[in-house]
Amino acid sequence: MMKVPLLDLKAQYQKIKDEIMEALQGVVEEQYFILGPKVADLEEKIAAYSGSRYGVGVSSGSDALLICLMGEEIGPGDEVITTPYSFFATAGVISRLGAKPVFVDIESDTYTIHADSIEERITPKTRAIIPVHLYGQCAGMDRILEIARQRGLVVIEDAAQAIGAEYVSEIPKPSRMHRAGSMGDYGCFSFFPSKNLGGFGDGGMVVTNDPEKAEKLKILRVHGSKPKYYHTYVGGNFRLDAIQAAVLSVKLAHLDTWTAKRQENAAWYDRELQSAGLVDRGLIKPPKPIWRDVSAGQSPLQNPGPGSPSFHYHIYNQYVIATPSRDELKAYLSDKGIGTEIYYPVPLHLQGCFKDLGYQEGSYPVSEQAARTTLALPVYPELTVEQQDYVVTSIVEFFH
């Protein structure tokens, strides 16, 4: 029986081991472990990579979201609109500050927030929108930004799973591509080890194009202190450490290559599941990347290729299928030595800690359907053709 883990970080590490060890040795010799030059260097690189002016390294992706809300002084009496189908931190940081998460259901194909449904949930208490670029694909940012501009709302992009993903904006004309995190007031990344750009522990980054917002975030991450021991704000300990920055700088140089391999693996799954008849029979729904016209212009960051009439840049942090037989298929694949994961089995509006919000089963049916039917398959760059073939063969065997 072949073993196919959901993610193989050991395989990734073996290919870049010498680079990593050299970077770590540099940190040890410098003895500068918290913030410092390694973090500043990574901030510049991530900002440039995402198409933003400023980067602020923080302690985690969760703290990236939290510090942005703190920077906007969002708290009791305020409301923040987001999706009920995401990792807990997306809504948890809102409640942590005493504000109220207000949910909007997702699109059935992309699993991202249904942008056209946002406006009906806005009240005089609404302060911000947190769209989630889930699984590596951007939410419908044109409509979200249009609503935010009209209503004077802050947009905080949760791009924890989407560094490097691109979005073709049709507003204003001509069309233009933007990297995830660069379109709203803030963009938040996570460097949790399992992410497509993962560190050797927790870490995160906020990017922004506003120098005043960036400066305030830098003050908030050190307990609101500037200069040292003089506190303008009540902040927190949200600092990124130099070891994580050193590791991430090494990995960032490989990220585009890894992304291309993830996309290649995803396309292979798409073809094989389709040719096996599982898609047409309604047994498997593969991910749906959104293709956009790029005839009016090309990305300043990523060239989709000469003559390309359309383009998508789903980075496949996860390759997530949907199937009515999700739980049975997961158990079967586990028995075959294949790692899978359910993101997310309980949507946020049905979590026990949010019961006082008054939601119930049926409040957000598309999110609830996704929670019942979705399953992530291995898609990491080091996945071999033999491993992928084994995964698909096992899925076909299950349905036959």
Q: What is the pLDDT of residue 297?
A: 47
Residue with tokens 């703190």: 70
Q: What is the pLDDT of residue 175?
A: 60
The answer to whether 9 touches 343, Cβ cutoff 8 Å, is no
Positions in the chain short of pLDDT 50: 296-309
Q: What is the pLDDT of residue 101?
A: 98
Nearby residues of 100 by Cβ (< 8 Å), 6 or more positions away = 78, 79, 80, 94, 125, 357
Domain boundary among 200, 225, 252: 252
Domain boundary among 252, 284, 309: 252
243 and 287 together in one domain:
no
Taking the C-alpha atoms of residue 59 and residue 188, their distance in angstroms, rounded to an integer, is 12
pLDDT digit string (tens) for 334-372? Answer: 999 999 999 999 999 999 999 999 999 999 999 999 999
234 and 310 together in one domain:
no
Residue 3 lies in a domain: no
205 and 265 together in one domain:
no
Alpha helices in the chain (DSSP H): 9-30, 36-50, 61-71, 89-96, 141-151, 211-220, 242-252, 255-275, 326-335, 365-373, 385-399
211 and 332 together in one domain:
no
CA nearest to 192, candidates 7, 48, 60, 313 = 60
Q: What is the pLDDT of residue 299?
A: 45
Mean per-residue pLDDT over the chain, rounded: 93
Give residue 335's domain range.
Answer: 255-399
Taking the C-alpha atoms of residue 301 and residue 116, their distance in angstroms, rounded to an integer, is 28
Q: Is the dihedral of CA 23, 24, 29, 33 positive or negative?
A: positive
Taking the C-alpha atoms of residue 328 and residue 160, their distance in angstroms, rounded to an integer, is 29
Domain tally, the chain: 2
- Tell me, what CATH number does 390's domain have? 3.90.1150.10
Q: What is the pLDDT of residue 174?
A: 54
Q: What is the pLDDT of residue 289?
A: 87
For residue 253, how far is the Cα from the chain centroid? 19
Residue 333 lies in a domain: yes
189 and 204 together in one domain:
yes
